[in-house]
């Protein structure tokens, strides 16, 4: 554990680590708060395409953890950003949940 605390930056999965469905995992939320108190940078990742970053921000707030959009890296957002930068003229058809 001591070598882990020497790190400055933490990437934490959301599903199964911060919450299970709508249920927060309080001990892990407290661990994130402790990391932040120690000056560590934390971002959260998810490959769940059913929720947007804004929805996830509200969910985190409901769990008592303040998170900015910049701290949330969702697969849907990363894909859209990649396409918009690398394939500016690409025609894309998407179908799915509101998170898309």
The predicted pLDDT at position 100 comes to 67
Q: d(Cα 84, Cα 8) in Å, to the nearest integer?
A: 30
- Full residue range of the structural domain in which residue 31 is found: 7-86
- Domain count across the chain: 1
Q: Per the domain annotation, does 94 fall within a domain?
A: no
Closest CA to 38 of 79, 72, 63, 4: 4
Continuous segment of H or E residues that includes residue 62: helix 53-62
Identify the CATH number of the domain in which residue 27 sits. 3.40.50.1000
pLDDT tens by residue, 6-20: 999 999 999 999 999
What is the distance between the terminal CA atoms of the chain, rounded to a whole angstrom? 37
The predicted pLDDT at position 96 comes to 74
Q: Per the domain annotation, does 95 fall within a domain?
A: no
The predicted pLDDT at position 1 comes to 60
SS3 category, 37: helix
Residues of the chain with pLDDT below 50 are none
């Amino acid at each position: 554990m001591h070598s882990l605390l020497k790190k400055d930056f933490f990437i934490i999965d959301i599903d199964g680590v911060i919450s299970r469905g709508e249920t927060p995992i309080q001990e892990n939320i407290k661990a994130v708060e402790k990391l932040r108190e120690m000056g560590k940078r934390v971002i959260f990742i998810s490959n769940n395409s059913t929720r947007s970053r804004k929805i996830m921000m509200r969910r985190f707030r409901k769990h008592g953890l303040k998170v900015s959009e910049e701290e949330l890296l969702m697969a849907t957002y990363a894909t859209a950003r990649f396409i918009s930068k690398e394939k500016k003229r690409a025609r894309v058809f998407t179908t799915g949940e509101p998170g898309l």
